[in-house]
Structure 1
Amino acid sequence: MERSQSETSGIGQRLRKLRLEKGLNQQDLASADISVSYVSLIETGKRAPSEAVLKFLAERVGCSVEYLRTGRDDARVKELELKIAFGDMALRNGANGEALQSYSEALASAPFLGEAMIRRARTGQAMAFEKLGRLEAAIQLLTSLFEDPGTVVGSAEWAQLAVALCRCHRESANHLLSVEIGEKAMRELDTLGMEVTDDHMQLGATLIDCYRVRGDLAQAHVVASRLMPLAEETGSRVARGSVYWNAALVAKSQGRTSEALALTERALIMMAETDNVRHQSLLKTVYGTLMLESANPDLERARTLLAEAQQGLLEVGTSSEQAFCETSLAQVSVRDGQFEAAVAHASRALGLFRNEPRWESAKARTVLAQAQFRSGDGVTGEATLNAVERQLTQIPVTRSTAEVWRYIGDVWKENGHPSEAMEAYQRALTEVGLRGLPAGSTAVTRS
């Protein structure tokens, strides 16, 4: 069958594009019946390949004959779209590894997909990287998408990418950049004067937490106070729940436990009518942990909330989220005198954290040491606390690391180690910016 010059040229262009994307040279497409020069003529549109040659070349570059001939392959496109949809479903259900595999397989055949589907797959791939703890890969992908000229400022996609970037930089301890991205995005929204949406509220809520983690509680409180009335105006339960949730964390960090409990309870009510099991579980973890810090903690209620949270997180949560819940369950068990259970929960938390140098795993190890001391195994408790202190020297200084140092000091103190306790308290003060007198300072006496 004779082909027109434009059709022949199209075949050549698609063949060359796919070959280069596969990292192949023209020699790789040659065979006993197809010379390198013939491949070159096809690619330049000077020769029209036969059906047999088309089939051979299509197999070599990993596409269908239909795509190579016309640039279309409806069956293949449908297959890839279903693969991306499966990735979306797997991501929602917490099967992050399966999600990543589906997105990656779809992107391997990107020439068949339209721009919108490619962006959807790349965004899903970035989210899967984040949930798997591969933050560097997630940040690289998210940044390229966020800065792409095709990303419309103020759109739902733009807001989603900004939120994810803030989260990833926060989790990788780059607190300066996490806040900078959030602040710039909020300024851009203010400039646009757009109607407030759930996505925009989520951006503000994430910025609140970035301030909190950085230790800037005053600014976190200011943003929370600004957003709560706006969240009420939207009428969205998700928006209100997100803002209450992060405002509760700020109140907790400022020592306003009763207010934090009230805000968390309101957030739970908002989220209860959604189908987001992960968010509900995370809120229950926060609520149960806060109850332990109240003046008269209801340990059974706290344990019930945390057990419910852990059940949900086992299905859809990340390993870090499950570990944090295990740490809180360990704290309940310590308070309730169930030291063996506390050791088991704390040990599971450390296994889930994979002993990574992060403040959450340092806290889990401190709870483990406390359980060991209270069970009468002081020697092991001392060794565990010493290990925590070594671990903390490898972790970037934040308010959270200061809180762990304070916790270490309390455990040393209650077990008869005043000098170690004093040193830990001093480290806690130093990490929140309060330093002692310079070495060699002497007191000034008055005559």
Structure 2
Amino acid sequence: MHVTSQGLVGERIKMIRRQRGLSQAQLAHPELSDSYVSLIESGKRTPTPAVLELLAQKLDCSLTFLVNGVTAEQMEDLELGLRFARLALENGEVAEARRRYAELLEDNNLVGLASLRQDARYGYALAAEAGGDLPEAIAALNTLREGDTEGQSPERRIQIALALCRCHRNSGDFATAVRIGEETLGPASAEPSWNDDLIELGSTLLSVYYERGDLLRARQFAAELLAAAERLGTPRAIVAACWNAARTAELVGADEEAMPLMERAMAIQSENGEPRNLARLRGAYATLLLRARPAEALTARDLLVRVLHGVKESAASRGEVPLTLLYLARAEMELGHLDEAAEHAQAALDLAAEGTSRAVLTDAHLVLGQAHWMRHRDEDATAELNAAVQKLEDGPQTRKTAENWLAAAEIHDRVGDRARSIEAYHRALACAGL
């Protein structure tokens, strides 16, 4: 736990006063009372800016040092370090960003600078998340949410809750993700005072509802979010609500309802948003197009090629590149380009093995197994399938796991292993709660 900035200012005044050989009365005279100086030094009073400036003059030190505990040059170095770390993250240099943020957090000059310290810890959490280290990201975010809270703005608290909700969702801990999202939005009986940050948090919470298979609640909440986003009328809110409402519609089989929602989100994002989210939106649209309109597989494939370039050039999380490669592999299979499909799936598997989530790694084994089966390489298909099944057996029982068990059942059936196919179908039904 950090000492408050108010307390640190008082400690610095006391330290410099003693270094100068002054008593509290000597420092106070004639403008202030010695009792007031005593209260400031003990952290029981917050000096006004005018008093701080006066004390800095009397103590013959810089106001920057008195307020922040660092010199102007040290402050400039810290701010420059944060800018470089942010740029590294934005440019997709995840390991470099994490290293820079970690170095900043170890700098003692950051101790009394609550805002910069929180910026560094939040950036470190995002870099850890982008690198696939969800436990470390969650630990850093929990520190921000529960301990390092001095002077934290409402906007920052929502950002922290959003990132925590997303990290817990991606780690399969849906209960914690829902709890954090719902606590931050407030009681169900009260309508939130919606803004862009809360709409984005709500959209992430919506994704947790449908990922855990609560499609009835997801459909209801998607309608609430869309209505709130329309009232708010901002591009960011409309994109977030349309995107996740489209995904919800897709999951209940309402593909033609999902298509215009996704298209609207893409149109707005292309005019107002940053490239990373546009690439992800295009990827989601292409996969929807593949399933809803198979005749447009070539269009979907070409779009996914653009998406792959986009996520490679952006601050995409470590899971996004292999995930896009898997979407591209499925598009190539739909087009009958089996060698290309296997090549993309193998590339996805190689990247996934470097530390992405279990779900991406499982998908990679399944898609590569399907590509091998379509190329009549049953032995290779079975090997990939067995690797996928091992991951599935150790994973949480979610809607996504049920989908993967179903895919495994179909591939087992194709390679002639009827017994294991039936077993996989039963596991899919169990994951779906049937």
- What is the TM-score normalised by the length of structure 1? 0.78
> For residues 19 and 69 of structure 2, what CA distance do their matches in structure 1 show?
8
> For residues 73 and 354 of structure 2, what CA distance do their matches in structure 1 show?
46
> For residues 374 and 420 of structure 1, what CA distance do their matches in structure 2 show?
19
Give the aligned partner of residue 420 of structure 1.
Answer: 420
Q: 1:189 to 1:114 in 2, by over 3 A?
A: farther
SS of residue paired to 1:280: helix
SS of residue paired to 2:433: coil
Q: 1:221 to 1:161 in 2, by over 3 A?
A: same
Give the aligned partner of residue 170 of structure 1.
Answer: 169
Query: Cα deviations across residues 71-118 of structure 1 (Å, max 9, x unaligned)?
Result: 441111101111112212222222222222222222222435622111
> For residues 11 and 421 of structure 1, what CA distance do their matches in structure 2 show?
82
Greater shift, 112-121 or 309-318, is seen at 112-121
Greater shift, 390-399 or 103-112, is seen at 103-112
> For residues 270 and 245 of structure 2, what CA distance do their matches in structure 1 show?
18
Q: Does the CA-based 8 Å contact 2:298-2:335 persist in structure 1?
A: no
Alignment of 1:28-107 (within 5 A): 71-107=69-105
**Deviation of the 1:417 alpha carbon:** 3.8
Q: 1:397 to 1:249 in 2, by over 3 A?
A: same
Query: Cα deviations across residues 123-175 of structure 1 (Å, max 9, x unaligned)?
Result: 11111111111111111111121224846798211110110010111111111
Is it true that 1:111 corresponds to 2:109 in the alignment? yes
Q: Does the CA-based 8 Å contact 2:259-2:288 persist in structure 1?
A: yes
Alignment of 1:313-392 (within 5 A): 313-316=311-314, 317-354=316-353, 358-392=358-392
The one-letter amino acid paired with 1:312 is G
Q: Does the CA-based 8 Å contact 1:186-1:204 persist in structure 2?
A: yes
Q: 1:163 to 1:341 in 2, by over 3 A?
A: same
Q: Does the CA-based 8 Å contact 2:69-2:109 persist in structure 1?
A: no
The one-letter amino acid paired with 1:389 is V
Equivalent pairs: percent with the same residue? 33
Alignment of 1:262-281 (within 5 A): 262-281=260-279
Give the aligned partner of residue 254 of structure 1.
Answer: 252
SS of residue paired to 2:396: coil
The Cα RMSD (Å) is 2.6
> For residues 311 and 104 of structure 1, what CA distance do their matches in structure 2 show?
29
Count of equivalent residues: 376
Gaps of 5+ in 2: 1-12, 22-63
> For residues 11 and 361 of structure 1, what CA distance do their matches in structure 2 show?
63
Give the aligned partner of residue 53 of structure 2.
Answer: none
SS of residue paired to 2:394: coil
Give the aligned partner of residue 136 of structure 2.
Answer: 137
Give the aligned partner of residue 123 of structure 2.
Answer: 124
Q: Which structure carries more relative contact order (alpha carbon 8 Å, separation 6+)?
A: 2
Q: 1:181 to 1:407 in 2, by over 3 A?
A: same
> For residues 350 and 280 of structure 1, what CA distance do their matches in structure 2 show?
24
The one-letter amino acid paired with 2:92 is G
Give the aligned partner of residue 181 of structure 2.
Answer: 182
> For residues 351 and 171 of structure 2, what CA distance do their matches in structure 1 show?
17
Q: Does the CA-based 8 Å contact 1:110-1:118 persist in structure 2?
A: no
Gaps of 5+ in 1: 13-65, 435-447
**Deviation of the 1:196 alpha carbon:** 2.1
Q: Does the CA-based 8 Å contact 1:154-1:189 persist in structure 2?
A: no
Give the aligned partner of residue 403 of structure 2.
Answer: 403
The one-letter amino acid paired with 2:130 is K
> For residues 118 and 380 of structure 1, what CA distance do their matches in structure 2 show?
51
**Deviation of the 1:399 alpha carbon:** 0.5
> For residues 101 and 6 of structure 1, what CA distance do their matches in structure 2 show?
33
Give the aligned partner of residue 430 of structure 1.
Answer: 430
The one-letter amino acid paired with 1:409 is A
> For residues 321 and 175 of structure 2, what CA distance do their matches in structure 1 show?
27
